[in-house]
Amino acid sequence: MLLDGAALKLGTTAAGDLAYSAKPTGQVKSLSADGLVRGPYSQSFRSLAIGFQTHHPHGRTGKGARRRGGGSTRRGKWDEVKLWQMGYKQELHRSFTMLNNMAVSTSVLSFYAFMETYGTQGLAYGGPVSVMWGWVLCSVFSIVVALCLAELLSAFPTSGGIYYWSWALAPSRHRTVLCWMAGWLNLLGQVAFTAGLEYALAQSIAAAVFVQTGRGSAGGGVELSRSAVLGVLAGCLALHVLLNCVSTSLTAFLNTLSFFWHILATLALCGALLYVAPRLNSAEYVFTTWTPNTERHGIENPTYIFFMGLLMSQWVIMGYDASIHVVEETVDADVAGSRALVGSVAVCSGLGFVLLACLTASMQSLASVLDPTATGGHNAVMQLMWDVFRARYGSGYGAVGLSYIPLVGLFFCANASLAANARMAFAFSRDGAMPGARIWRRLRNQHTEAPTSTRLPVNACCLTAALAGLLAVPCCYNDKFFATVSAGSVVALSLSYGIPISLRAFHMGASFIPGPFSLGRAGRPLAVVACGWILLTSVVFVLPNAYPVTAGNANYTAALVAAVLALAAVLFYAPGFGGRAWFTGPAPNMD
């Protein structure tokens, strides 16, 4: 089939596979209101879209038959056509399966991240009730948010994701600034999230060292200095950079390994705790025991306390936009990416609930777990495992072996977070929205004959790792700053999710054209519910978490989020160099 004077050709081979070629005769200048390209040969792309849906009835409308046969090569070519529809050429190596994509998000959502917050943010604010029911509440509403994002991902399967959708769905008068703010909130929120995970990993390693060389809360172990913890963090971050700069195949392998580790090793950990614990708490204790611990934080209102405890759960169930950022490397992207996004949240929610229930059921002493001297004040989960083995065998050293299960999970988690963060920075710089964009959008081996699987956003990976490392430095010297970073990352990421979801709910309405993954009539009501949850958590997590408020216990999350918004606003509105003068939204790179 010849399209628009041979500028673009779309057809099928004798075997029925898709074949296409392109010889642009002009330059794609911008995108149209529906998120597709326009320019001197925009009709070529319109014809391409028509041809796409003619040959592939499973196209943008989400109606028609499902894909049948053809193998991954054929599906990959359809993905490239869909990407061309949005104005981008295929640059990253597309080889991820749905499992690989889901593995990335599942790794980022690692429930082992609550090793650092199980005591300080969970049990300290309401005890078992806050831990268990807070997890259930956050899981349910996070799945609602994930469903809304998955529908948008299916319609526009690009690594830019959040900010691209904000531009495509917004009214023309406000689309540029909304795209800009969504992008910066998402990028810097991910940087803060990665920083928090690297810090949690370093602190967990410090706790493991203390446990292995001492006697748990009884003391006697080697307690790493804060500078030593920073050194551990830097080493882990450097290793993660190296692992993310090798090949797409290695990234897929490590995250798939992480996926099965989180399932099988977690079930083994739960079984070991339940078997070893000489005394198990009743279901009534696990699900109905309320311990406000007012003496720790000075808050007396039960509802306020419960909301403060939600941070433990919501910080863990956050970052599932990782599936979005690797979608340009995913085969059958508009279906597999959406299913992987929702599936990862479901897996994390289910397994996390099981792990929390087993931890709380096997807990021998709440006072010991909340003891500020436990494991050097580092890790409540490590102390809980120590107490279980000590109660059974008189010595807690059996917990040393179990401690490696969450440590490995956290290592995979931080590695996957950096991978997603790098791809977001690559996409954002590809559209020219970052200072030094020409540097950060370059891919390794982009213009060589090397295997395409080695075309990775190495520069963007190094940039995001450096920013995360800088943000993690204060965490190592001030525990309060970690709480600020973790809450700030949740608020920033949530707000970035909320921008396109709210546009879907309140601006596009019934005029929104979904992809093959469609919520149907439930799409708009679910989007409204998701916006309500995002608004609630964004307000709750900036409230004071201790009274009376002092400089030492104040919640600086609002200041951190305000700083992010202020930075984005300055970069946009500043006279002379601000993006308002030159940024027009996603910039097609088909020329």
Along the chain (591 residues), what's the average pLDDT of each consecutive run of 10 residues? 37 44 44 47 39 41 41 67 88 93 96 88 95 98 98 94 94 93 96 96 91 66 91 98 95 97 96 96 97 93 96 94 95 95 97 97 93 75 92 88 93 97 96 92 78 87 97 92 93 97 85 89 95 96 93 92 94 88 84 57
pLDDT at 86: 87
170 and 25 housed in the same domain: no
Residue found under tokens 């940039």 = 463
Phi, psi at residue 95, to the nearest 5°?
-145, -5
Residue 239 lies in a domain: no
State the pLDDT at residue 273: 96
Task: For residue 125, tell me if it sits in a domain.
Answer: yes
pLDDT of residue 205: 93
**Residue 299, H or E segment:** none
Q: Tally helices (H) and strands (E) across the chain.
A: 22, 5
At residue 72, the pLDDT reads 53
Three-class secondary structure assignment of 56-76: CCCCCCCCCCCCCCCHHHHHH
pLDDT of residue 45: 40
The reply to whether 386 and 486 lie within a common domain is yes
Specify the pLDDT at position 52.
Answer: 41
For residue 46, what pLDDT is reported? 38
Tell me, yes or no, whether 587 lies in a domain.
no
Note if the pTM is more than 0.75.
yes
Strand pairing of 18-22 and 30-31? unpaired
Give the 3-state secondary structure of 422-448. HHHHHHHHHCCCCCCHHHHCCCCCCCC
Give whole-number Cα distances, 226 to 133, 201, 203, 232, 421, in Å: 34, 14, 10, 10, 26
Do 269 and 400 belong to one domain?
Answer: yes
Domain carrying residue 493: 98-220+250-581
Of 23, 56, 85, the position where a domain reaches its end is: 85
Which pLDDT belongs to residue 213? Answer: 83
Q: Is 346 exposed, middle or buried (0-12, 13-18, 19+ CB in 10 A)?
A: middle
Considering the domain architecture, whether residues 194 and 331 belong to the same structural domain is answered as: yes
Within this chain, do residues 39 and 163 fall inside the same structural domain, yes or no?
no
Torsion of CA 421, 424, 428, 431, to 10 degrees: 150
Tokens 């990959």: give the residue.
Answer: 76
**Contact between residue 212 and residue 388 where contact means Cβ atoms under 8 Å apart:** no
- Strands 8-12 and 18-22, by their bridges, are antiparallel
Shared-domain flag, residues 75 and 179? no
Q: Is residue 242 part of a domain?
A: no
Q: Nearest CA to 424 among 223, 184, 251?
A: 184
| Same-domain pairing of 69 and 133 | no
Same domain, 49 and 102: no
| Long-range contacts of the stretch 404-409 (C-beta < 8 A, 24+) | 404/208, 405/112, 405/265, 405/266, 405/268, 405/269, 406/112, 406/115, 406/204, 406/269, 406/381, 407/201, 407/204, 407/205, 407/208, 408/261, 408/265, 409/110, 409/112, 409/258, 409/261, 409/262, 409/265, 409/266
Contacts of 87 (CB under 8 A, 6+ apart): 28, 31, 36, 37, 45, 586, 587, 588, 589, 590
What is the model's pLDDT at position 10?
46
What 8-state DSSP symbol labels residue 263? Answer: I
Looking at the fold, whether 68 and 121 belong to one and the same domain comes out as no
Q: In this predicted structure, what is the pLDDT of residue 120?
A: 87
Look at the chain and report how many structural domains it folds into.
2
**31 in Cβ contact with 87 (< 8 Å):** yes
Q: Which of 532, 479, 133, 138 is nearest to 316 (CA)?
A: 138
pLDDT for 2: 29
Residue 13 has a pLDDT of: 45
426 and 558: one domain? yes
CB 292 within 8 Å of CB 119: no
